[in-house]
């Protein structure tokens, strides 16, 4: 009997992955966690039945989650990751030596433990103690509210806007993030699929703007196992700091030079050309965001 995993993206669209075995299945305090071995995409992590990552294409998501913001805000020393219990975002942040403190705030400790066990290549930055990494198991929304002015970068590596992740798309949460950023700080967040979630992207733009972020720009990349195979993130910056009163801009202020060669050699998707191309949005996305 063949074993298939199916994720329904819309009433008329499903993603199907042929699986060879179930490696783990459990229920945490917050959500159901499953790890499957697939025929073509390696190991698959599911939360409440939805794809979080696969071994084959996770590098695209995590590199684009981190490096656009890091190569723009070169003076950043402190970074906060909200969600991201699989460790991939921390792994990418650790490539940047200017970051002296990286805080991972994940609500579900079981996600971290499962990822360390089944995805060590993703959770590599969490496998051993690192003086630059601090791991907190608590609600990310509450944490940012209680820590104003503490971070240069905030990366929201959230699940979909349902269940525990729903609050991470709210105006109140974005306002707390704005206050938690230092002057000149940058926020980056995953914002779902342009093919299926344009209304969500538009809402994110409106809420970030209302929260005080004067510059909000979206960027995209392909992630084959996510809805539509095409994913988006948002870059938002706060006035002040090293920008001398300006808000950092993802194209004008990106700085990638010869000294970054070793970082770039370790990457599989992100390049300087990809950085610029990712912020050039297709017409259907631009028109939807303007409405």
Token pair listed for 267 = 């990457």
CA–CA distance, 134 with 94 (Å, rounded to integer): 12
Active-site residue among 34, 110, 152, 157? 157
Q: 3's torsion region: left (phi>0), alpha (psi -120 to 50) or beta? A: beta
CA 19 from centroid of its chain's CA atoms = 26
In DSSP terms, which residues pair with 4 in a beta bridge?
18
As a whole number of Å, the end-to-end CA separation of the chain is 49
Contact 171, 134 (CB under 8 A): no
Contact 260, 224 (CB under 8 A): no
Token pair listed for 198 = 């344009």
Contact 102, 81 (CB under 8 A): yes
**Residue 152 catalytic?**
no
Active-site residue list: 157
């Amino acid at each position: 009997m063949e074993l298939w995993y199916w994720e329904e993206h819309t009433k008329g669209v499903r993603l199907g992955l042929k699986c060879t075995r179930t490696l783990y299945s459990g229920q945490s305090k917050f959500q159901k966690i499953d790890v499957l071995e697939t025929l073509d995409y390696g190991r698959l992590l599911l939360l409440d039945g939805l794809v979080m990552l696969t071994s084959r294409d996770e590098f695209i998501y995590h590199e684009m989650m981190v490096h656009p913001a890091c190569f723009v805000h070169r003076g950043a020393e402190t970074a906060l990751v909200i969600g991201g219990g699989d460790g991939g975002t921390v792994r990418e942040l650790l490539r940047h030596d200017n970051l002296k403190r990286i805080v991972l705030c994940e609500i579900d400790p079981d996600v971290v433990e499962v990822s360390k066990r089944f995805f060590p290549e993703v959770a590599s930055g969490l496998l051993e103690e690192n003086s630059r990494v601090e791991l907190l198991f608590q609600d990310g929304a509450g944490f940012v509210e209680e820590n104003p002015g503490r971070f240069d970068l905030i990366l929201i590596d959230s699940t979909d806007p349902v269940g525990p992740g729903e609050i991470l798309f709210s105006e109140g949460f974005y306002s707390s993030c704005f206050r938690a950023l230092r002057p000149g700080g940058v926020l980056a967040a995953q914002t779902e699929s342009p093919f299926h979630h344009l209304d969500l992207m538009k809402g994110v733009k409106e809420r970030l703007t209302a929260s005080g972020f004067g510059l909000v720009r979206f960027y995209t990349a392909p992630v084959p196992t996510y809805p539509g195979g095409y994913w988006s993130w948002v870059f938002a910056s706060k006035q002040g700091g090293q920008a001398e009163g300006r808000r950092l801009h993802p194209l004008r202020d990106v700085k990638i030079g010869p000294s970054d060669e070793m970082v770039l050699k370790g990457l599989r998707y992100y390049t300087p050309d990809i950085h610029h191309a990712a912020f050039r949005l297709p017409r259907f996305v631009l028109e939807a965001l303007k409405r």
